[in-house]
């Protein structure tokens, strides 16, 4: 029998924390928000059982505040803000891994993905700063966990981030490239099956080629899985093989 009283306590605990984080973000108290996010991350039993709708609503508000702060910065994103953003993505990454309802519920909270895009675009556009790589790595891992065994999220993330993947793949941090190859592979498990004409798209071609180049030049393991995905596509050889360098072939 489900202990509804216990679940109510879990909801109250996590949701009150999430609401406190949102208030801290509104007050620009990023250090406090970061510490409270860490409390949520370590509460695995709470994340497994929390009501997905209310939880995602709170996380959406937190990410919206972070997005506005980062997007309106003049190119110098404060370190506490970056650290808070990284913790927010860690929290969402953990939530998606532990609770399939939260993962599935993202399709009803597309603003979370939109604000993730805004934040990562801004991070990429500014000069490399301390902790900026952490924000990207945590964001990409969150997107990866959001996609695992979820065709709806795979399609949504592929369509939303297709023009950003190349920037991720060319990032100086090899882990950012590796995690992006993982994300591309996860998206392609559905996208490539649905759309056999995928490789007619110039952006898709560029992403696949960049993943293969990363595999050949940086020994990025996840790029091999992208290559395997594309070998199943009839357009791979006629569209891409001639564009590869000698090492990639």
Domain at 19, CATH number: 1.25.40
Distance CA 67, CA 62 (A): 9
Which of the residue ranges 56-70, 101-115, 225-239 would you say has the lowest mean pLDDT? 225-239
Residues 175 and 135 in one domain: no
The pLDDT of residue 179 is 95
Closest CA to 19 of 53, 48, 55, 45: 55
Residues 114 and 232 in one domain: no
Count other Cβ atoms within 10 Å, centred on residue 101.
15
Q: How far is CA 87 from CA 52, 71, 90, 242, in A?
A: 19, 18, 5, 43
Residues 102 and 175 in one domain: no
- Which residue would you say has higher pLDDT here, 65 or 76? 65
Residues 51 and 146 in one domain: yes
Residue that is last in its domain, among 124, 142, 161: 161
Q: What phi and psi values does residue 33 have, to the nearest 5 degrees?
A: -60, -40
Distance CA 64, CA 116 (A): 9
DSSP-derived letter for residue 123 is H
The pLDDT of residue 74 is 76
- Which residue would you say has higher pLDDT here, 156 or 214? 156
Residues 35 and 4 in one domain: yes
Residue that is last in its domain, among 106, 137, 161: 161
Count other Cβ atoms within 10 Å, centred on residue 5.
8
Is residue 111 classed exposed, middle or buried when 0-12, 13-18 and 19+ CB atoms within 10 A define those classes?
A: middle
Residues 43 and 138 in one domain: yes
Task: Give me 194's structure tokens.
Answer: 């649905």
Number of structural domains the chain divides into: 2
Residue that is last in its domain, among 134, 161, 188: 161
- Distant-in-sequence, close-in-space partners of 47: CB < 8 Å, separation ≥ 6: 14, 40, 94, 95, 98, 99, 102
Residues 147 and 176 in one domain: no
First-to-last alpha carbon distance for the chain, in angstroms, is 58
Residues 126 and 193 in one domain: no
The proportion of the chain whose per-residue pLDDT surpasses 90, expressed as a percent, equals 47
Residues 142 and 175 in one domain: no
The pLDDT of residue 131 is 61
Distance CA 50, CA 122 (A): 31
pLDDT at 164 over 80: yes
Q: How far is CA 79 from the centre of its chain?
A: 20
Confidence of residue 1 (pLDDT cuts 50, 70, 90): very low
Model confidence over 112-151: pLDDT tens digits? 999 999 999 999 888 655 568 899 999 999 999 999 999 9
Q: Is 73 left (phi over 0), alpha (psi -120 to 50) or beta?
A: beta
pLDDT at 188 over 70: yes
Q: Are 84 and 34 in contact (CB under 8 A)?
A: yes
Mean pLDDT over 174-202 rounds to 85
pLDDT at 204 over 90: no
Q: Are 226 and 185 in contact (CB under 8 A)?
A: yes
The pLDDT of residue 246 is 56
Residues 149 and 174 in one domain: no
Residues 80 and 109 in one domain: yes
Residues 233 and 129 in one domain: no
The pLDDT of residue 228 is 83
pLDDT at 63 over 50: yes
Mean pLDDT across the chain: 85
User: Domain residues for 191?
Assistant: 169-249
Model confidence over 226-236: pLDDT tens digits? 888 777 777 77
């Amino acid at each position: 029998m489900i202990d509804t009283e216990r679940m109510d306590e879990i909801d109250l605990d996590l949701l009150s924390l999430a609401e406190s984080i949102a208030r801290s973000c509104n007050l620009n108290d990023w250090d406090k928000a970061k510490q409270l996010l860490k409390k949520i991350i370590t509460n695995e039993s709470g994340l497994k059982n929390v009501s997905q709708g209310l939880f995602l609503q709170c996380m959406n508000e937190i990410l919206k505040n972070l997005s506005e702060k980062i997007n309106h910065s003049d190119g110098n994103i404060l370190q506490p803000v970056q650290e808070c953003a990284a913790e927010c993505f860690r929290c969402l990454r953990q939530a998606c891994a532990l609770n399939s309802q939260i993962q599935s519920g993202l399709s009803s909270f597309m603003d979370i993905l939109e604000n993730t895009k805004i934040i990562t675009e801004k991070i990429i556009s500014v000069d490399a700063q301390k902790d900026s790589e952490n924000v990207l790595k945590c964001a990409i891992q969150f997107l990866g966990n959001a996609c695992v065994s979820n065709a709806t999220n795979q399609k949504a993330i592929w369509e939303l981030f297709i023009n950003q993947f190349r920037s991720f793949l060319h990032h100086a941090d090899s882990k950012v490239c590796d995690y992006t190859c993982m994300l591309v592979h996860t998206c392609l498990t559905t996208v490539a099956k649905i759309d056999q004409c995928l490789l007619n798209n110039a952006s898709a071609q560029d992403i696949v080629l960049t993943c293969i180049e990363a595999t050949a030049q940086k020994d990025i393991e996840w790029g091999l899985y992208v290559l395997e995905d594309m070998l199943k596509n009839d357009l791979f050889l006629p569209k891409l093989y001639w564009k590869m360098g000698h090492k990639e072939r």
